[in-house]
């Protein structure tokens, strides 16, 4: 159990770093194309959205595959 939660945190932090770099890039691009205020608003929106997106991604990547009914029945007989 401890290894699974550690893997979840490692995947979360790694993907969060990548996601936040993307947020910065998008914010800077909008700032140059539109205005500094629009860039800031875009960055803040992306910044907070990345926490949700990367958590969902990390959970999906590290979750165990679902066992079929047959393998569950075999495991219960043991």
User: Any idea how long the chain is?
Assistant: 78
The pLDDT of residue 5 is 82
The pLDDT of residue 10 is 93
Distance (Å, rounded) from C-alpha 66 to C-alpha 26? Answer: 37
Whose CA is closest to 31, among 23, 21, 20? Answer: 23
Average pLDDT over every residue of 32-54: 96
> DSSP letters of 27-72?
HHHHHHHT-HHHHHHHHHHHHHHHHHHHHHHHHHHHSPPPPPHHHH
- Is the whole-model pTM more than 0.85? no
- Token pair 């995947």: residue: 11
Domain boundaries, the chain: 2-77
């Amino acid at each position: 159990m401890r290894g699974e939660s550690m893997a979840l945190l490692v995947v979360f932090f790694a993907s969060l770093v990548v996601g936040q770099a993307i947020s910065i890039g998008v914010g800077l691009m909008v700032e140059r194309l539109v205005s500094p205020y629009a860039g800031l608003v875009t960055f803040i929106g992306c910044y907070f959205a990345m926490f949700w997106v990367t958590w969902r991604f990390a959970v999906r990547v590290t979750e165990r595959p679902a066992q079929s009914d047959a393998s569950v029945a075999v495991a219960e007989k043991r």
